[in-house]
Chains A and B, each alone.
Chain A
Amino acid sequence: MSTASRLALIAMLTAGPALAPAQQPPNPIHPLFGPLDPAGRPATRAEDVSADVTCGACHDARYIAAHSEHGKAGARATCIQCHVDGGRLAVANLEGGKLRREDVRIGKPRTGNCASCHGLVSDGTSPVLLPEGFEAAPASGGRTWSLTQGEGAVFAPQPMSESFLDLEGKSDLHAPWDAHAAKLVDCVACHYARNDPRHGDLKQTSLRYLTSDPRRPSTAQFLVRPEHELARPDCRTCHAPLAVHDFLPYRERHMQVLACQACHAPGPMAPAAEMIDATVVTSAGTPAFTYRNVDRRTGEALNAAMVHPLRPLLVLRTEADGARRLAPVNVVSRWWWVSGPDRAEVPFDTVVRAFREGEGYAPEVLQALDADGDGRLSEAELRLDTPAKVAAVAARLRALGVPDPAIDGVMEPHPLAHGVAGRERALRDCGACHGEQSRLSGDYAIAAYLPGGVPPRPPEGGGRVELSGTMAPTGNGGLALREASALPGRLHVLGRSRQATSNDLGLLLFALVLAGVTLHGGTRLALQLRAPRRPAEHRLRPVYAFGRYERLWHWTMAASGVGLILTGLEIHQGGWRWPLGLPAAVTVHNALAVVLMVNAMLSLFYHVTTAAIRSFIPAPQGLLARILEHLEYQTRGIFRGGPHPGQPAGQKLNPLQQLTYLALLNLLFPLQIATGVLIWAVGHWPSVAAALGGLSVIAPLHNLGAWLFLSFFTLHVYLVTTGRTLGEHLRAMATGYQLVEPGPDEPQGA
């Protein structure tokens, strides 16, 4: 595109920001017709044309109106607005009372038609910019920017980096504003007429054995009576998410609990509103807007203000297939004046007249709101946050004939359904949910202040979105949703959910062990430093105590155990990206668990078949005495250099060890293996885990077990150092040879 044509384009855009979409081509099939006025007479001016009468000559206008959400109160779209290029029939050049073929630019609604009421779109030929009037108060039933202000979405195919907006990280935002728009999936591709014969899902049948209904209307029947209750499918109507996402651990689980948008609407880049305060009038004659993701300096044009990615709120939403999944929403709170006993909305024009007189604000309004007396109303001043200010405006409204003016407010959750990101911009940061900084944690701002002190009503029932959490005032007069994603249904999110009891208990145990070991070791060290003990003078005799296989299984167990603890910690923390990152940590953890289980199984087989298991079973005779003897040694003898208590022949383990291992092998191993397998199974057979209380029961148990393991491991490593020399036991487990003091009858030396 040449510079000249670019400049021309810019000029065109600034002159008429009504987003000129490419012209709809003439429809070669639609019969030629004559435009009629409401009385059925030929109409010669576009504004006289009655869509109901003109189109109704062939299409069943009454049926369509009765089956259309666009024909109901509040909306007043006509056939022409949605189906004709530019929303106006070209009736200027009729031929024989009928439209010329080239003027029959009629067809399925295009994005431009939808955008004339719903939000910001671009067909790719013009760069995205926010038009004038973006912040104007919507006239009843007229244009809104809900798609953009509500969801932060722009339905446009071009890369975000090519828009006019000032976006954070713009130069790298090569993803399109909407992945569907970029792939020529337009509005009506999803929001189609429900009885359109091209779509098989025309009936929500309860008969499960029917996948399709062949009795669907013919094209001709459809054209006469198209149902205008438009479909609202969700992603899974067209996409099969399980067919991709191979990289994702717990793929099935993620798909089960998450709406696609949770990752594929990661941070909309268009200005999304936090609150729209229509109880006041800005100097531009619009309601006061507060955006969630815009840094806007006073007086700055929205097009020039820095837009950040919108961080959505994740809440449970009922999707088209009936499942409730975590889906991102943007909650917009709106306030406006109501009047009379039925609390009807006061037209914004009236509010404007109440606020303004001539070019500026009315003196009464200024007097009540202008705190610093500079004759202007700053953003902070233009708030009805005290009863006096409310009363002043209410008085002006009453003077304009508005009875009983009062303020009303509501919270509107807008599910992020448009502005969808494709693979390249989808959220891939596991820590966004699985970590301390999880999107599922923390408070969610609702309003920076409450107009008239009126808290916004929660959304009315029947919506598909459930807001949870509790409303709590913030320090500066605003309102926030506390623990907004408190996860109804006790969803357990690895790396983010903390089950306080088990975690604290485990940590405490670990801390105790660590403290004991430190104390014990410190004492030994201190004593050794004060009075160094020489190793025994006599020569020691090596005895082959640990066979090859015993050492192999021991070290395999040790390596896999340490690996499990390390990767487990990483999963527990969730947000760590080093050294593996969450998906790799999960994979390695699972692999190590398999190694450990196989190793445990083989060694169990070995111990049982070779009777080596005996050394793990304490001999009952004199057990107590021996336990006491060992306790005595560990608490006193070891410090004084006393002799190590002897052991019955053929016993490698002392009774304390035996008891520890009994508990370890019979309780901790089965617990960890069972809970671990169940956690793994959540990804594949969720019902099994669900029957046992779900992850929120199983995960804490596994977590507690991990702490116990870590405690055991610490103690074990410490006890390794309690031989005659620090490395003696370690050497024995490495080489297999244990040094024992020669019996009195044995010759010394070998």
Chain B
Amino acid sequence: MLTWIKRRWTRVALIGAGVAAAALLAAVALAGRASDRSVSSFRPRVRPHFDHASVIQGPYATPQDVTRACLGCHPGASAVMKTAHFTWLGEEVQVPGHPGKVRIGKKNLINNFCISTIGNEKACTKCHAGYGWADARYDFTRAENVDCLVCHEHGSGYVKGLAGMPEKGVDLVAAARSVGTPGRENCLTCHAYGGGGEAVKHGDLDSSLEHPPSYQDVHMGKHGFLCVDCHASKDHQLRGRAFSVSVEDGNGLSCTECHQGPQHRDARIEGHLRSVACQTCHIPTFAPSIPTKASWDWSKAGDASRKEDQHHYLKIKGEFVYEQDAVPEYRWFDLTVNRYLMGDRIDPAQVTALNPPRGDITEPAARIWPFKIHRAVQPYDAVNRYLFPPVTGGTGGYWTTFDWDTSFRLGEKASGLPYSGEYGFARTEMYWPLSHMVAPKERALGCTECHGSTGRLDWKALGYAGDPIQTGGRK
């Protein structure tokens, strides 16, 4: 009898303990409330990479030998040969205002920095994910010409030089042994230094992003994101588009992929999402720590009497203006742009926008976006009235002769674009929508930054009757 009671007593005690524990848990849950959605739940986990030190033997006579070794185990990696990192060309696309479909990319477009890669391949392809691209005869079909290391090596002292070949003294074995998931410094090696110097092109990508403070970039600084966490790859095709070379946003990235649902407690702010891109408020300024090039005047180049300084004047390049912590300019943008293609006519009296964003207040898909607008004065063919790809580097190039005519003649040969023999200088603009260096929410723009008498937006220019806080937003 007593044992029976004892058994029963044990059961009761167990049940009681269970109930008490449940109550305790409930109380703790109530007290702690639902915690915020954790950022780490959005951040893809980067797998610890297999340590290649044990399998890489070497020695390698050429960098192509390294690539062959890579492909020996990763035959699928040759898919990178189809991507713009290797081809410098996009998919076939209909460019607004131009007939038919064309493939465009760094390989065949005009920009308003170093103007064109055509004829200048040797220097430009320092940032090509391949080896040996020195001129138009380059063989894009050879898999061993892919440069795996530039994206995958880590801290091995790997540096690329002319035609994308590793500089003398690079230890190929050490580089090959260090490979892993691309880190921020891999991407920045090219994307922070495009256009012949740091922060020349992008206002929102520079070396500070290797280790950014959290007030500058909330994703990478505060939450430790890598570039490839957002720019994820499939068969080496990375997500995201750059509107300097793309005209549409296929395979593009968007804030809302992670930041889903209503984001703001205040309905008035949430209402902005119909007309304003996230970036507009959350990237209050660009180039917060490292100045970015705002304008470039080629017409002033070649003056030996001027003092040289890479932020103001270089004889080979002309005159610059750099800006730091700059207020963006705002335009409607529907994630498509018009594109100036080689040979398009220009009006030299007007500013030629090379990639003006499309969309206006009447287009529902368009949002107000922040841009870094880079303004330039660059040479053009004065009779044919088109922008022209001069040869700058190498023998006979402008940087040695300081003669535009010679460089145009070389460019004519390289590009096949006829040169009339007369050149002039024209004003051009390039639009760089800002998406990096998203500030923490505390630094996001407040009402008065745009509205009221001190606001930074030109409402009339954007198509509003007046400040929409008084006249109402678009319907």
Contact = CB atoms under 8 A, between A and B. Distances in A.
A22 B454 contact: yes
A125 B1 contact: no
A125 B454 contact: yes
Contact of B325 (A3, A158, A159, A749): A3
A174 B442 contact: yes
Interface string B2-21: 00010011001100100000
Contact of A2 (B28, B31, B326): B326
B447 A182 contact: yes
Contacts of A6: 325
Given A123-B453, A734-B9, A1 B285 contact: yes
Interface stretch (A576-584, A702-710, A711-719): A576-584
Nearest to A157: B448
A18 B278 CA distance: 36
Interface string B299-335: 0000000000000000000000001111100000000
B39 interface: no
A644 B411 CA distance: 116
A181 B451 CA distance: 12
B349 interface: no
B403 to A, nearest CB: 35
Interface in B18-77: 23, 27-28, 30-31
B297 to A, nearest CB: 18
A182 B9 contact: no
Contacts of B452: 123-124, 184
A605 B327 CA distance: 74
Contacts of A588: 27, 30
Contact of B447 (A25, A184, A559): A184
A542 B2 CA distance: 8
Contacts of A581: 31
A750 interface: yes
A176 interface: yes
From B30, B265, B454, name the one whose CB has the most chain A CB atoms within 10 angstroms.
B454
A124 B31 contact: no
B31 A584 contact: yes
Given A734-B16, A737-B5, A123 B454 contact: yes
A232 interface: no
B158 to A, nearest CB: 35
B448 A182 contact: yes
A588 to B, nearest CB: 7
A523 interface: no
Contact of A124 (B1, B8, B9, B454): B454
Contacts, number: 74
A2 B12 contact: no
A580 B442 contact: no
B449 interface: yes
B1 A750 contact: yes
Interface in A458-477: none
A157 B446 contact: yes
A124 B442 contact: no
B461 interface: no
A2 B290 CA distance: 11
B contact face: mostly helix, strand, loop, or mixed: helix
A734 B13 contact: yes
A731 B9 contact: yes
A620 B247 CA distance: 99
Nearest to B469: A184
Interface in B410-469: 442, 446-449, 451-454, 469
B449 A124 contact: yes
From B1, B325, B449, B453, name the one whose CB has the most chain A CB atoms within 10 angstroms.
B453
B283 to A, nearest CB: 14
B21 to A, nearest CB: 13
B446 A182 contact: yes
Interface in A199-244: none
Contacts of A22: 453-454
A749 B1 contact: yes
Contacts of A584: 30-31
Given A1-B325, A22-B453, A588-B30, A157 B447 contact: yes
A182 B266 CA distance: 14
Interface string A564-583: 00000000000000011100
B31 A579 contact: yes
Nearest to B31: A580
A24 B446 contact: no
A581 B33 CA distance: 11
Nearest to A124: B448
A112 to B, nearest CB: 10
Contacts of A2: 323-326
Contacts of B31: 579-581, 584
A665 B440 CA distance: 59
Nearest to B11: A735
Contacts of B9: 731, 734-735
A734 B30 CA distance: 29
Given A124-B448, A183-B447, A735 B27 contact: no
A734 B449 CA distance: 68
A159 B285 CA distance: 16
B452 to A, nearest CB: 5
Contacts of A1: 285, 325-327
Given A2-B324, A182-B447, A579-B31, A25 B12 contact: no
A114 to B, nearest CB: 15
A580 B448 contact: no
A222 to B, nearest CB: 19
Contact of A580 (B12, B27, B324, B446): B27
Contact of A24 (B1, B12, B453): B453
Nearest to A175: B442
Nearest to A23: B453
A162 to B, nearest CB: 10
A6 B12 CA distance: 74
Nearest to A186: B452
Interface string A292-320: 00000000000000000000000000000
Contacts of B325: 1-3, 6
Nearest to B451: A184
B315 to A, nearest CB: 25
A744 B285 CA distance: 96
A157 B452 CA distance: 11
B324 A3 contact: yes
Interface in A157-194: 157-159, 161, 174, 176, 181-184
From A2, A6, A123, name the one whose CB has the most chain B CB atoms within 10 angstroms.
A2
A124 B9 CA distance: 72
Interface in A565-622: 579-581, 584, 588
Given A1-B285, A22-B454, A182-B448, A579 B323 contact: no
A121 to B, nearest CB: 12
B228 to A, nearest CB: 31
A559 B327 CA distance: 62
Nearest to A540: B2
Nearest to A181: B448
A580 B30 contact: yes
Contacts of A181: 448
A511 B28 CA distance: 31
B396 to A, nearest CB: 39
Given A1-B285, A580-B30, A735 B447 contact: no
B30 to A, nearest CB: 6
A110 B31 CA distance: 47
Contact of B12 (A158, A174, A542, A734): A734
Closest 9 A-B residue pairs measured CB to CB? Answer: A174-B442, A157-B448, A124-B448, A750-B1, A22-B454, A734-B12, A184-B452, A22-B453, A125-B454
Given A24-B453, A158-B448, A735-B9, 18 more contacts: A2-B326, A25-B453, A110-B453, A123-B453, A124-B448, A124-B452, A158-B446, A182-B447, A183-B447, A542-B1, A559-B23, A579-B28, A584-B30, A584-B31, A734-B12, A737-B8, A749-B1, A750-B1
7 contacts: A2-B326, A22-B454, A124-B448, A159-B442, A174-B442, A182-B446, A423-B265
